[in-house]
């Protein structure tokens, strides 16, 4: 755990249609309520470029009562943290689980990415999702995240092995930020330059992630959205606030 708290934006992806392996137990427990898959991100300004939602296939998730009769799908650890941060209705630190769900069951579930240029995206598996970070749900932005880009390419190569349908991984990376050194698809450029072959190529991915984060933040310019033309440094807090004001995101710290 980091010494300083990390300030994330938790983005709410509404479940539009459950995937083929979601059990009737889960569907019944949810009833007619709205369910949101909640992803923690450090790059809210990239949300226009969401193409998928990742879960760890072996991770345990739960669906929890949030505020306003809504339900949040995330790890129990994240539910507990949110309960202490006043995110849910009810007493501080208390939370109610509606039902358990395993990551692999969620594959192929269709969700609505907040502020996404593509309006419906599918849940896919990512091997490296940590149970100990964020909400355990990761929104995929393969234009700007090397991990997301490489995972998407792995999934496309071996759809059957990953137990996914090819059409779930069909959305291509969407340019949202221009950088002078790496163009408008920085993740793809870096994965090619550093010859990153798989999502398991941890050291090279860490290097790419570091470059992409710094380059995007300090030299990037928005090419889409309300803050098109603005440097990322300035646009980042503005997009974050818009997402929160729209009721599609919330601050989350850990
Ligand atoms: B970021 P830090 Cl475009 N396991 O969001 C693995 N990774 C996780 C996670 C988990 N449980 N929870 C969140 N993350 C990812 C966007 C993004 C992110 C872009 C570029 C870089 C980037 C879209 N994915 O992260 O260890 C989330 O992916 C690289 C810094 O707390 C989250 O932000 O620094 C980031 O890792 C948080 O990582």
Give residue 188 CA to ligand 1 midpoint distance, Å. Answer: 16
pLDDT of residue 90: 84
Q: Give mean pLDDT, residues 79-85.
A: 97
DSSP label at 146?
H
Mean of per-residue pLDDT scores for the chain = 97
Structure tokens at 216: 């995007």
Phi-psi map region of 142: left, alpha, beta (phi>0 left; psi -120 to 50 alpha): alpha
Please state which of the ranges 2-6, 71-75, 99-103, 133-137 shows the lowest mean pLDDT: 2-6
Question: What ipTM, to 2 d.p.?
Answer: 0.98
How would residue 196 be classed by pLDDT, with cut points 50, 70 and 90? Answer: very high
Cross-strand pairs, 99: 63
How would residue 75 be classed by pLDDT, with cut points 50, 70 and 90? Answer: very high
Residue 1 above 70 pLDDT? no
How would residue 2 be classed by pLDDT, with cut points 50, 70 and 90? Answer: low
The torsion angle over the Cα atoms of residues 182, 184, 187 and 188, rounded to 10 degrees, is -90
Tens-place pLDDT, residues 163-194: 999 999 999 999 999 999 999 999 999 999 99
Helices (DSSP H) in 90-231: which residue ranges? 146-157, 186-193, 202-219
**Biggest CA pair distance of the chain:** 51
Residue 217 above 90 pLDDT? yes
Contact 80, 73 (CB under 8 A): no
CATH number for the domain running over 7-253: 3.90.740.10
Mutate to test the pocket of ligand 1, among 138, 141, 202 (most ligand atoms within 8 A of CB): 138
Ligand 1, residues at Cβ distance < 6 Å: 6, 40-43, 46, 128-130, 133-134, 136, 138-141, 144-145, 148, 209, 213
Q: What is the Cα–Cα distance from 123 to 121, expressed in whole angstroms?
A: 7
Structure tokens at 247: 């009721």
Residue 3 above 80 pLDDT? no
Which helix (DSSP H) or strand (DSSP E) does residue 241 occupy?
helix 232-245
Q: What is the Cα–Cα distance from 51 to 65, expressed in whole angstroms?
A: 27
Mutate to test the pocket of ligand 1, among 7, 39, 43, 114 (most ligand atoms within 8 A of CB): 43
pLDDT of residue 195: 98
Structure tokens at 252: 């989350």
Positive or negative CA dihedral for 154, 187, 42, 69? negative
Percent of the chain surpassing pLDDT 90:
97
How would residue 4 be classed by pLDDT, with cut points 50, 70 and 90? Answer: confident
Tens-place pLDDT, residues 111-143: 999 999 999 999 999 999 999 999 999 999 999
> Where do the domains of the chain lie?
7-253
Q: Which atom of ligand 1 is nearest to the CA of 49?
A: 3
Q: Give mean pLDDT, residues 62-67.
A: 97
Contact 236, 45 (CB under 8 A): yes
């Amino acid at each position: 755990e980091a010494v300083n708290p990390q300030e994330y934006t938790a983005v709410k992806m509404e479940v539009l249609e459950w995937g083929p392996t979601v059990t009737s137990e889960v569907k019944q427990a949810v009833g007619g309520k709205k369910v949101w898959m909640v992803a923690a991100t450090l790059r809210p300004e990239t949300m226009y470029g969401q193409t998928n939602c990742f879960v760890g296939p072996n991770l345990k998730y739960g669906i929890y009562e949030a505020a306003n009769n809504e339900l949040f799908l995330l790890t129990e650890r994240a539910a507990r943290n949110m309960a202490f941060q006043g995110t849910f209705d009810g007493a501080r630190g208390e939370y109610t689980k509606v039902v358990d769900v395993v990551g692999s069951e969620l594959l192929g579930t269709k969700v609505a990415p907040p502020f996404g240029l593509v309006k419906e995206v599918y849940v896919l598996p990512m091997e490296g999702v940590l149970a100990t970070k964020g909400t355990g749900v990761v929104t995929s932005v393969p234009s700007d995240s090397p991990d997301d880009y490489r995972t998407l390419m792995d999934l496309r190569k071996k759809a059957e092995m990953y137990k996914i349908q090819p059409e779930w991984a069909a959305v291509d990376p969407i340019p949202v930020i221009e950088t002078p050194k790496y163009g408008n698809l920085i993740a793809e450029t870096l994965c090619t330059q550093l010859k990153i072959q798989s999502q398991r190529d941890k050291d090279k991915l860490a290097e790419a992630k570091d470059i992409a984060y710094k380059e995007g933040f300090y030299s990037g310019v928005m090419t889409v959205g309300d803050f098109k033309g603005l440097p990322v440094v300035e646009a980042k807090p503005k997009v974050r606030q818009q997402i929160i004001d729209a009721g599609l995101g919330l601050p989350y710290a850990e």
